[in-house]
A and B are shown apart, each in its own frame.
Chain A
Amino acid sequence: MARRSVARSLLNNLLSNKLEPCSRITASRSVTYMPRPGDGAPRAVTLIPGDGIGPLVTEAVEQVMTAMHAPVYFEKYDIRGDMKQVPQEVIDSIRRNKVCLKGGLKTPVGGGVSSLNVQLRKELDLYASLVHCSNLPGLPTRHENVDIVVIRENTEGEYSGLEHEVVPGVVESLKVITKFCSERVAQYAFEYAYLNNRKKVTAVHKANIMKLADGLFLESCREVATKYPGIKYNEIIVDNCCMQLVSKPDQFDVMVTPNLYGNLVANTAAGIAGGTGFMPGGNVGAGHAIFEQGASAGNVGNEKLLDQKKANPVALLFSSAMMLRHLQFPSFADRLETAVKRVITEGKHRTKDLGGHNTTQEVVDAVIAVLD
């Protein structure tokens, strides 16, 4: 009699679903990754805080990494966006460590200085830039079901930097497209789609006007598409693409684009998914990778954000999770992402761009508090 009532009360408990949130997570079977012996040795990562809100958000990442006891240690280098070129010691450090985490480097408008971001990408031949734009649960936006990855060719195209004045008042800028670069970025896009179980790759172009240049890009994409018959491939003109992004973004999955269009499409996609504050991204090449905030909309935050220390660290935290996976520390990456997502979904600690009024430090503290 007593046993039956105990059994019934146990059954009632289970059915009423009164489990605590923490125990709900640990009750399910956790994913396990089998490392090679020696994988746990600490890895050096070059850290470039950068300008504007850069130092603030990179410090957030450092704090979280320390709290997690992640096997990474940072070699910090201070460079500013208005330096003439990236110091050789920074390049050497990245070549040595193979992985870098970077805040934003502000490129001054108007002339004289070429962008340090572009310089880093060209020096290290980081030919693909990746931005992952997706809705965060708990954050309402105008568009739902956004999950777009924009892969952008990072070294040539309109950013070749080849400009000259023909006669006073007439300036020419060269846009260079090569088969070599188009092919390797298309190859990266399809390989990424295959490895991440993505179903469709869309090439963005303006080949109806720039027939030879974008035509060459499309040709390379089509050739690579034939090697991946399981992945759907289609093409879209860039102005139609932007129009579709603001009306029906769920039709896009992975997008591969030349340099300039990629910049625009990535920022548009980031905007519709909720803003640049939490989109992770990185630049990758054959030998090196630099992780940074995915879409930065060309700025490094305004002064008010800096003074009040209210910059949003979520984007860089997600990017550092991507970096941890790249370094083959996937369990740390999972823990970091789960903690950050929980903090955002709970909604109690959010910076201004996500609708809250907390400072960077408060968000970081909240993330560290829910790390398990």
Chain B
Amino acid sequence: MASQILRRVVRSCSGGILSSPANHHHSSLLPALTRAFSSATPITATLFPGDGIGPEIAESVKQVFQAADVPIEWEEHYVGTEIDPRTQSFLTWESLESVRRNRVGLKGPMATPIGKGHRSLNLTLRKELNLYANVRPCYSLPGYKTRYDNVNLVTIRENTEGEYSGLEHQVVRGVVESLKIITRAASLRVAEYAFHYAKANGRERVSAIHKANIMQKTDGLFLKCCREVAEKYPEITYEEVIIDNCCMMLVKNPALFDVLVMPNLYGDIISDLCAGLVGGLGLTPSCNIGEGGIALAEAVHGSAPDIAGKNMANPTALLLSSVMMLRHLNITDKAERIQNAIINTIAEGKYRTADLGGSSSTTEFTNAICNNL
């Protein structure tokens, strides 16, 4: 522990980014989007292995990163067994501070503890780290055949407000109201990120998904904010699509869409729909973006307790999410190498885990990826 702190202090002195690791108040740092680094300086990232199959697939990620020589040092944190009063949940204050400090993290699947008196883990992370955008790239994996083989889109979902504000009440017996909140600030924030992401990743079109013909003021405000941001990026085509049309076109011809930006509820539904188009949540990467450039990549599938510990789990989702994390850090060359290795391994078809129709173990699959690097 002491040697770790010493190492971190030495690194921070040479990097000049942090004043002291024990200092909980950090000044507004450069967002990680523009962080310049040299490949010699390792970046610390927080890792939440999670429950169930989490630790196994986290091992896979560590192994692949080591084989690819990625300059990331992992700081592992686990979900506690007691409620931490400072966070009102099973996640400790130290875990959250670690993510705030490191600016990047990777999260495995976490089982939701049952009971009252605490916030859900995802809610804790979202509120404490102010994670406002959920980014999910969905592309057809060559070699894993689904009914759709030309999907290549990214869904960006506003993650803090909208229909999920949790503000409901019973007016009288048998009548319930639920509030959907849309604010200019949150809509502008997610629209800015969407266009920035499109530009940074060479995407040509951003589509805003809405139901503004019925919900005129709320979705109308969202659209207005998107239009404002669109004017600043004239090289990117901007269009608006009504959500029922979007659903229908997605299942008929998903190649029509490129980047989709949406409020909370529509984003939830559409991003899961797109995950279904490419093969399910077991293959879909995801990344949550927070204020100040924090990025927490996560695997959105469940913790699969029935296959935990049996070396059968598919690490693809967590690996692809870690690739997203690398891209966010601008380590694009390593990200490309790892992504290509994963895609080629699945395309070759010799090593596939049980859920993809093969019979390889997690370790065999991981070794195959390392060999393909």
Contact = CB atoms under 8 A, between A and B. Distances in A.
B217 A295 contact: no
Contacts of A240: 272
Interface in A171-194: 171-180
B180 A178 contact: no
Nearest to A213: B178
A227 to B, nearest CB: 19
Nearest to A269: B251
B71 interface: no
Contact of B170 (A108, A212, A266, A272): A212
A307 B178 CA distance: 44
A22 B163 CA distance: 56
Interface bracket on A = 35 or more
Interface string A186-220: 00000000000000000000100111110110000
A171 B181 contact: yes
Interface in A218-260: 238-240, 242-247, 260
B251 A115 contact: no
A260 B180 CA distance: 13
Interface string A33-67: 00000000000000000000000000000000000
B213 A108 contact: yes
Contacts of A110: 212-213, 216, 220, 223
B248 A297 contact: yes
Contacts of A2: none
A163 B217 contact: yes
A222 B124 CA distance: 32
Contacts of A213: 168, 176-178
A267 interface: yes
A190 to B, nearest CB: 20
B168 A267 contact: no
A72 interface: no
Contacts of A154: none
B40 interface: no
Contacts of A29: none
Contacts of A180: 174
Interface stretch (B12-20, B96-104, B273-281): B273-281
A107 interface: yes
B246 to A, nearest CB: 9
A163 B276 contact: no
A103 interface: no
Contacts of B215: 158, 163, 173
Contact of A143 (B147, B177, B220): B147
B129 to A, nearest CB: 19
Nearest to A263: B244
A243 B273 contact: yes
A315 B163 CA distance: 33
A159 interface: yes
B213 A109 contact: yes
Given A275-B252, A295-B248, A268 B182 contact: no
A187 to B, nearest CB: 15
A211 B213 CA distance: 27
Nearest to A212: B168
A176 B164 contact: no
A210 B272 contact: no
Contacts of B220: 110-111
Contacts of A287: none
Contact of B269 (A109, A239, A296): A239
Contact of A298 (B180, B244, B275): B244
A246 B277 contact: yes
5 contacts: A108-B213, A174-B177, A174-B178, A247-B280, A263-B211
Interface of B: 146-148, 163-164, 166, 168-170, 173-185, 211-218, 220-221, 223, 240, 242-245, 247-252, 265, 268-273, 275-277, 280-281
